[in-house]
Structure 1
Amino acid sequence: MKKSLFFLSTLSGLLLFAAWPTSPLMPFIFIAWLPLLIVADQVKTAPRFFGLAFWALLIWNSGTTWWMWNSTDIGTIAAIMFNSMLMTFPWWGYFHLKKKGKKIGYTSLIAFWMCFEYIHHNWQLSWPWLTLGNVFASYPDTIQWYEYTGVQGGTLWVLLVNILLYECWLSYQQKSFSKKKGIAVILLLLLPVSVSYLIKPSLTKEAVQDNIVIVQPNIDPYGKFNAGSGAEQIQLLLNLSKQAIDSHTKMIIWPETAMSIADWQNNISNNLYYQPVFAFSREHPAIHIVSGIETFKNYGREKATATAREAGDGSYYDAFNAAVHIRNGEALGFYNKSKLVPGVESLPTFLNFMAPVFEQFGGTTGGYGRSESAEVFSTGANSYVAAPIICYESVYGEYVGEYVKKGANILTIMTNDGWWGNTPGHKQHLAYAGLRAIETRKWVARSANTGISAVIDPTGAVRSSEPWNKMSTIKYAIPVINGTSFYVSMGDYLYKLASLLSMLLILLKIKDRFIKSKA
């Protein structure tokens, strides 16, 4: 029995891993939880089930995110172990509540898992990379309805199909197979896909003259912050841009931290390294440059933010992984990355005592500062209103929707995925950008330092791309699409409903414990 349970737990982990982008085995996701559901029904004790569920989730996490090792070894081990443990808690809650009956049990599994995903999108150790709804990222034609539900709808779909299939398997084992259950499974599998094809927008070719140039400089991320090479990097970016632009170019997008010589935000326009950029802007006044940049901001003697660091003279300042908007004749616009990578770009306040440890495996003791909310880059002279999405932020559906609510009509993603090398990491990241295109029904222009840079249409299809490890540019005439989708307007409403239901279920369990203790 112990061996068979361990095998089933292992099988669940392997199926989850096999289904994940960019694998062609995505349909495995609809049976991936079945072995773990069997384990939950056969294990007698909660600690034993917790261990088996943790093992399955550890396999999934390790198989899909091992590539983080290329940027931080100890950090990767800590992240994978911790994330696997967090994912085990919704299953642990299901194990306890299923004793009250199947309906309550299955409801608790759905509610607890979706509540976990919602928390994992919004707390200080946020890591939503393995949100279940992300699994369909490589198959956008099947999830066009994400414009109404976002990835949370995909999570719900996966859980419901697995639960119904498990019920069909149980009834078959008991020789009481119900045709109604079988039909329900088939409908639940086929209806969302059918609806997806029916509602997929028809993107007719528009006579668009204005174009955007995306630059992929292919600079080694581990050497780009060397001040000695800063001028060469800027010249490379400008040369690539000059070769690609024409009289209809309205915007140039450079990748995350393309302008890598850090300076105070109020001094960027005077920085000697960046004078060629401003000279280029004067020569081409109709063109806007949207670029990643490293900056600082000084607060004087006041510790104005929780992330502010103390300088040697007693003043306080923040360091930012930022985006800058450059157009001749206008003041520079800045947006500071808000969704920061835990442990590397930010340290949760409750882990401040571990700052020296995080610094040793690639993190930062002080953490980056951040903007409080999404911002857009726009001007009346340009039809494009850009959402300056920096790297990791493109994994957050509701947050990207905030850019659109503020008027963005194009999603401009600046990223530097080269830290991980040529691994599944940068391919997954590109695929997730397609999810944001569907959710917002906006075009995506993605500039990646080492690749994959791409143009993605509002159906999630890649229209143009440049491969990994290639210096290149993309010039594309992107239509402007205004307005907001249902999902952008409503946000993560399914997650919020699931979280409310989770609280009610937990209160129910507490009430039962209280009554039992009084008996």
Structure 2
Amino acid sequence: MKSILNREPWQLALLSGTLIGLSYHPKLYLGFLAWIAFIPLIHIIYHSTPRSAAKYAYYASVAANFIAFHWIGLNNGATLVPVLLSLTGAVLYLGIFWYLLVFIISSSRKTISPLLLFPFGWIALEWVRSLGPLGFPWANLALSQTNYLPIIQMADVFGTYGIAFWIIMINIGLYLVITSNRPKRYIVFTTAIFVFAAGYGYLRINIVDSSAVIKRVKIAVTQPNIDPNSKWDRENRKSVFHLMDSLHVVANAMEPDLVLWPETALPAYLRLSRTTRNKVMTRVKESGIPLLSGTVDKEWISEDESHYYNGTILLNPDESYQMYNKVYLVPFAEYIPLSWKYPILKELNFGQGNFTPGSDYTLFKLDSMLFSNIICYESSIPNVVRKFVQLGATFITIEANDGYLGNSAGPYQHFALAKLRAIENRVPIIRSANTGISGLFDATGRVLKKIPIGHQAVFLAQVDCHNQKSWYTKHGDIFAILCTIMTMIIIGVSAWRKFYDTVLS
């Protein structure tokens, strides 16, 4: 490894980016690459000028994010040009954060060790990158570790940021092992970090597994495997209704407490279309089993203006219903950021939907149990799930549609994100996806049931609910905020030392 570090900086940057990118593919089981992926980048910081180091960090970021998120460019639900622009824009945008962080670290290295600033700075980067309308916490390093269940248990305290901090510390320890003349103490240091995370993970899994179950809920999860590109075609609507009705019958025969359909399960506005809703409601009333289905919705604001929502409807046997509208929309796919503040932006056409975000964090009631539903991309936003659990949800359902992404890494990453949300909040999560992957996670993030991509199936999920709230649920991103504050303090100390050395001394 030491000889590899003697290569040209651009080669080290591409090596670092490639290793990081590959670690993000859950189905490749290469998450361990993240443990060494930053070593070449750390070496660049030590042996390049600030501008050069930042430039090479940008190269590494482009490589990493292109490999990790290339599936953005495989979206068959939009035309080629907007899809390629989305991929290019995302990769170039994410690189800005790497550039700025490495420039700051490298500029400060004469007064503050990069190895001190790097772990805190990386968490600050991830946290800031998750904020605002362009926030993208999907890209957080924790996603690379979802195949290692014990390691990611720390998310119930630190959120995903604790996992990222651990990864950076492992990289720092191994870098010191490789480059130090006295590597033994750094071997001990790195081993201790690894053992701490694994030990905590095994301990927490055992504690959660042995905690009291307050209620077991049975949910029939449906994966219809319908091509989303043709679902709304007039000639296909009748066959889609027939298929969903037949799967509804299968689900009801399992005698669940709830039937779960995926995002926009039917090509109809279920709340507004009384005819369609009555057809579906007939099955609900016959069985006495509520149905939770994804649906689009529309609200008239005036004669000339209406709002469209990506929503969920709970149909009850007494013919009542309850709605939830997606709170966190996908930028440039479901809306144009800032378009409600600057309406002229709605005139832009990238093939996106012009949805309006919901404003209410809805709790559904199933007998005596409260639960909430999140829709597709919302499962990548930790604070959305956390908010629902804070309000009282004892389990979370996810309705998703990854059919536009085929069998790429995208649906596998999306499925893995649910595992992180389950661990953060110590709640079971049940996922229904149109074409896959549907599944059941327990409160440790363990996958108990799973339907592969491209399969049509209905399965019965036995959901064990616990009456507990994690430290993360109660306190949120405190760790990330503290790391951000620590980053600013370290930068401030470095700037003062530089000022003192150059002006006052």
TM-score computed with the length of structure 2 as normaliser: 0.89
Amino acid paired to 2:231: K
1:378 paired with 2:365, answer yes
Q: Cα distance 1:96–1:354, how it changes in 2: closer, same or farther (>3 A)? A: farther
1:337 equivalent in structure 2: 326
Aligned match for 2:416, one of 412, 424, 431: 431
> In the TM superposition, what is the alpha-carbon distance from 1:511 to its structure 2 partner?
5.7
Cα distance in 2 between the residues matched to 1:75 and 1:433: 24
- The answer as to whether partners of 1:93 and 1:108 remain within 8 angstroms in 2 is no
Q: Cα distance 1:2–1:191, how it changes in 2: closer, same or farther (>3 A)? A: closer
- The answer as to whether partners of 1:344 and 1:358 remain within 8 angstroms in 2 is no
Aligned match for 2:72, one of 68, 71, 84: 68
Deviations 1:123-173 (A, max 9, x none): 11011222012211122133223222221110110111212222333323x
Aligned match for 1:48, one of 49, 52, 55: 52
| 2:209 match: secondary structure | coil
Map 1:150-189 to 2 at 5 A: 150-172=159-181, 177-189=182-194
- The answer as to whether partners of 1:93 and 1:109 remain within 8 angstroms in 2 is no
2:310 equivalent in structure 1: 321
Deviations 1:52-110 (A, max 9, x none): 111111111111111111212221121122112233322222111222121xx333322
1:305 equivalent in structure 2: none
Cα distance in 2 between the residues matched to 1:87 and 1:20: 17
- The answer as to whether partners of 1:208 and 1:477 remain within 8 angstroms in 2 is no
1:197 paired with 2:202, answer yes
> In the TM superposition, what is the alpha-carbon distance from 1:190 to its structure 2 partner?
1.7
Q: Cα distance 1:243–1:178, how it changes in 2: closer, same or farther (>3 A)? A: closer
- The answer as to whether partners of 2:372 and 2:393 remain within 8 angstroms in 1 is yes
| 1:140 match: secondary structure | coil
2:291 equivalent in structure 1: 289
| 2:307 match: secondary structure | strand
1:215 equivalent in structure 2: 222
- The answer as to whether partners of 2:213 and 2:466 remain within 8 angstroms in 1 is no
Amino acid paired to 2:278: Q
Amino acid paired to 2:315: I
- The answer as to whether partners of 1:383 and 1:480 remain within 8 angstroms in 2 is no
* Stretch of structure 1 that moved more, 20-29 or 503-512: 503-512
Deviations 1:311-360 (A, max 9, x none): xx4x3322111111111325421111112111111322289699479623
Cα distance in 2 between the residues matched to 1:339 and 1:87: 25
Map 1:70-109 to 2 at 5 A: 70-71=74-75, 72-102=83-113, 105-109=114-118
Cα distance in 2 between the residues matched to 1:56 and 1:354: 36
Structure 2: gaps (5+ residues):
76-82
| 1:88 match: secondary structure | helix
Q: Cα distance 1:224–1:508, how it changes in 2: closer, same or farther (>3 A)? A: farther
1:453 paired with 2:438, answer yes
Amino acid paired to 2:127: Y
* Stretch of structure 1 that moved more, 460-469 or 240-249: 240-249
> In the TM superposition, what is the alpha-carbon distance from 1:404 to its structure 2 partner?
0.9
TM-score computed with the length of structure 1 as normaliser: 0.87
1:15 paired with 2:22, answer no
> In the TM superposition, what is the alpha-carbon distance from 1:274 to its structure 2 partner?
2.7
1:244 paired with 2:247, answer no
1:416 paired with 2:427, answer no
Aligned match for 1:258, one of 257, 265, 269: 265
Cα distance in 1 between the residues matched to 2:136 and 2:342: 19
Cα distance in 2 between the residues matched to 1:107 and 1:335: 45
Amino acid paired to 2:329: L
Residue correspondences, number: 489
Amino acid paired to 1:10: L
> In the TM superposition, what is the alpha-carbon distance from 1:480 to its structure 2 partner?
2.3
Map 1:339-418 to 2 at 5 A: 339-349=328-338, 355=345, 359-360=349-350, 362-364=351-353, 367-379=354-366, 382-418=367-403
| 2:220 match: secondary structure | strand
| 1:193 match: secondary structure | helix
2:39 equivalent in structure 1: 34
Alpha-carbon RMSD? 2.7
Structure 1: gaps (5+ residues):
301-312
Cα distance in 2 between the residues matched to 1:477 and 1:24: 28
Q: Cα distance 1:407–1:106, how it changes in 2: closer, same or farther (>3 A)? A: same
- The answer as to whether partners of 1:434 and 1:460 remain within 8 angstroms in 2 is yes
Amino acid paired to 1:192: A
Amino acid paired to 2:349: E
Structure 1: which 4+ aligned runs deviate by more than 6 Å? 204-209, 512-519
1:235 equivalent in structure 2: 242
Cα distance in 1 between the residues matched to 2:11 and 2:245: 56
Cα distance in 1 between the residues matched to 2:291 and 2:493: 55
Deviations 1:282-302 (A, max 9, x none): 2123x22111111111222xx
